[in-house]
Amino acid sequence: MKKRILFRFGLFVFCPLLFLLTSCADSLPEPPDSISEEKAALIKAVLDPRQTDISSAAAKAGNLNFIDPRGISPLEYAVISSNPDKIRTLLKYGADPLFPDVHGFSAVHAAAALPDTAPLECLLDSGVSPDVVGPGGKTPLMEALRLGSADAARVLLARKADLSKADDRGRVPLCFAAMARTRSLELVNLLLDHGAQCDVHDEDGQTPLSLAIDSGNTETALYLLSTLPDFNSGTDTDLIGFLAMKHAVTAGNIFLAGKILEKKLEINSTLSLIYKTLTLVNVEGLHELLARNGLIDDGKTPLFWAAEADNPEMIQFLLDHGADPRAIDNAGNRPASYARKLESTKLLKKASEKAKQQP
């Protein structure tokens, strides 16, 4: 992970591969228009389930580290065909498991995306590191987690995949588990059982908790909340809670907002108030980091965020829990100034008048 600044913290058979390949480096070569007859024969042999011995085809093809017009290497075809015997044969004849396809991903990354772990285990048995880096700095473990491949993740963890290794955005494997489209909670539990840390952040200041909220993984977010201390500790954990509250309010997730308040986050907190209570040692780049996540020292409380989101239900929820409708931000505005819906404005103005009449 990058230096911590704030927190401690047509071929449908190839669908899994196509789902994996989501980024492309400009410097990577274009697939060739054609390949030699020997190389084409090898790929045909790899894909033919009736042809069990591809040794002759591999020997005739010469250098096995090439991509075909689809941008896929022979080894990658063997991987996505889930054929360990053909994988071993290709490795024997010189196929490089780290050779990139047209998108820059290795056969190891492709194997990590599959539900069948046999190809992945076969490649790892050949001595390949589980932490090989692909485009964007992503490791096979990150790809397995992103796609919800729990079995592949277990295989990689058993081979000591690095839980602290970050991609180019500063995201560690736990971030990918928190964002996973499927089985997110299972994956998060798996990583935590292997020693992953919750109090980490990426280069945009996002934490696994805030990423889970943004991804709609409420159960995962709830579990991550349970692993953190209360948000009135005077430590950087309070900022994790404040950030999570912003994401919950913006997403309109009243349930999670309530759970965050149960962790003793002050409902009328502002970023500047939290700063005053923190016992941080190193705050280099603090303002810039939080600003990337939409958190600036603007004097806004969660009620302001609800007003900006124009969510009457969230506004009412926060008011019911003690949010101050007469709070003033650094621009001299009250929450009602940011609401656009008539219902939101009425709620805030009514609450403001009521608060004004109280001693």
The pLDDT score that the predictor gives to residue 309 is: 95
The pLDDT score that the predictor gives to residue 277 is: 66
Specify the DSSP class assigned to residue 310: T
The pLDDT score that the predictor gives to residue 184 is: 97
What are the tokens at 218? 């409420």
State the amino acid at position 164 in one-letter form: S
Q: Per-residue pLDDT tens for 105-143? A: 999 999 999 999 999 999 999 999 999 999 999 999 999
Quick check: 34 and 69 in contact, CB under 8 A?
Answer: yes
Specify the DSSP class assigned to residue 207: -
pLDDT value at 15 more than 50: no
Quick check: 284 and 5 in contact, CB under 8 A?
Answer: yes
The span from the CA of 228 to the CA of 13, in Å, is: 43
The fraction of the chain above a pLDDT of 70, given in percent, is 85
- Chain centroid to Cα 79, Å, comes to 25
1, with CB counted inside 10 A (0-12, 13-18, 19+), is middle
Residues 6+ apart with CB under 8 A from 118: 82, 84
How big is the chain by its Cα radius of gyration, in Å? Answer: 26
Residue-range domains of the chain with CATH: 12-20+31-128 (1.25.40.20)
pLDDT value at 24 more than 60: no
Q: How many CA atoms lie within 13 A of 276 on its CB side?
A: 6
Q: Per-residue pLDDT tens for 60-88? A: 999 999 999 999 999 999 999 999 999 99
In 10 A of CB 182, how many CB atoms?
11
